Amino acid sequence: MNDLQMFLNKQVSNLAVLFTKLHHHHWYVKGSNFFSLHVKFEEFYDEINELYDEFAERLLTIGGKPISNLKGYLEASSLNEVDEDLTALQMVKMIHDDFILITDELKEGIVLAQDQKDEATADLFISTIATLEKHAWMLRFYLDK
């Protein structure tokens, strides 16, 4: 497996962990912002699910083999699982930080893809960055930062 394929696999893993984390937050959010955050976390996990599939299919397209089990995701991911009770604001902060971490990694991935003359993968990274940066901006304003 080449460097770009390994990088894509890491992102598949990040998206799988984020998808699960968003479900956790969707199910366990409490407080005065329950209704808005419950819906928002669902919107996010639906969107992340689409990206998860798109990244895995891109990896298959370029000859890679996506990780497809929980153990593998946790070993390859840059993100951590949720394993504690969090307040609604802590949940929002965690998702914000995860979006930022993924966008930072994808910026590195653009260079890797372009070095391998894979503009389609670079484009996938660029469009994902735009989406996640917008979400991070909105979450940052929600947190009043």
> How many structural domains does the chain have?
1
Q: Of the candidates 143, 135, 137, which has an alpha carbon nearest to the alpha carbon of residue 22? A: 135
Residue 1 has what pLDDT? 75
Question: Splitting the chain (145 residues) into consecutive groups of 10 residues, what average pLDDT does each group show?
Answer: 95 98 97 97 98 98 98 98 93 98 98 98 98 98 88
Which amino acid does the sequence have at 132?
L
Tokens linked to 33: 């912002």
Residue 110 has what pLDDT? 98
CATH number at residue 52: 1.20.1260.10
Tokens linked to 47: 């969107």
Residue 145 has what pLDDT? 60
Q: Of the candidates 105, 107, 103, which has an alpha carbon nearest to the alpha carbon of residue 139? A: 103
Q: Of the candidates 64, 46, 73, 48, which has an alpha carbon nearest to the alpha carbon of residue 128? A: 48
For residues 48-86, b (16+ Cβ closer than 10 Å) or e, as one string? Answer: bbebbeebbebbeeeebebbeeeeebbebbebeebeeeb
Q: What is the pTM of this model?
A: 0.96
Q: Which domain holds residue 47?
A: 3-142
